């Protein structure tokens, strides 16, 4: 999904650990949240049902996504 343009206004969220941009993407048949990692350029589009499911998640359930090993296998690099 790298390089695709999101239509909505972008918000930039930066911490000492990561920098991302989020925006509402309306190129599909319905709106999705676009999250782009500014360091790697990776991005993901999340639909409302996925986002709704996230609201029920605990932060510790997201931990597997934070394992750096996971990022290697997905992209072949960190």
Partner 1 sequence: MLSGQTDYRELVQEDRVSGRLYYDPAIFEEELEKIWYRDWIYVAHESEIPEPGDYVTRLIGLQPVIVSRDEDRNIHLLLNRCMHRGNTVCQSERGSAHAFRCAYHGWTYNNRGALVGVPYAAGYDGSFSREEYALARVPRMATYRGLIFGSMSVSGPALEERLGNAARLIDQFIDLAPSGEVTLRSGVLKHSFRGNWKMALENSVDGYHPNILHHAAMMLITRGRKVDMEAVFGEHTDALARDLGNGSAQLDLTPINRERGGRVVPHGWSAAAWEQYLGAMEQRYGADRAREIIQVGGPHFCIFPNIIFILNQFRVIQPVSVDETVIYYYPTMLKGAPAEMNQRRLAETYLIHGPAGRVAPDDFEAYERNQEGFRARANEWLVLRRGMHREKSESAGAIAGHETDETTQRGIWRHYREVMQT
Q: Where along the sequence are the contacts to partner 1 (CB under 8 A)?
A: 15-17, 58-60, 62-63, 66-72, 78
Cβ contacts of 13 within 8 Å, gap of 6 or more: 19, 20, 21, 22
The edge-to-edge listing of strands for the beta sheet with 19-25 is: 11-14, 19-25, 32-37, 43-46
Q: Which is nearer to partner 1, 30 or 76 (CB)?
A: 76
Q: Which is nearer to partner 1, 9 or 16 (CB)?
A: 16
Shortest Å, Cβ 56 to partner 1: 13
Shortest Å, Cβ 68 to partner 1: 4
């Amino acid at each position: 999904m790298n390089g695709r343009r999101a239509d909505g206004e972008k918000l930039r969220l930066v911490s000492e650990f990561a920098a991302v941009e989020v925006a509402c993407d309306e190129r599909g048949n319905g709106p999705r949240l676009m999250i782009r990692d500014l360091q790697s350029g990776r991005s993901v589009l999340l639909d409302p049902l996925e986002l709704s499911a996230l609201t029920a998640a605990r932060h510790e359930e997201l931990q597997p996504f934070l394992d750096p090993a996971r990022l290697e296998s997905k992209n072949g690099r960190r």
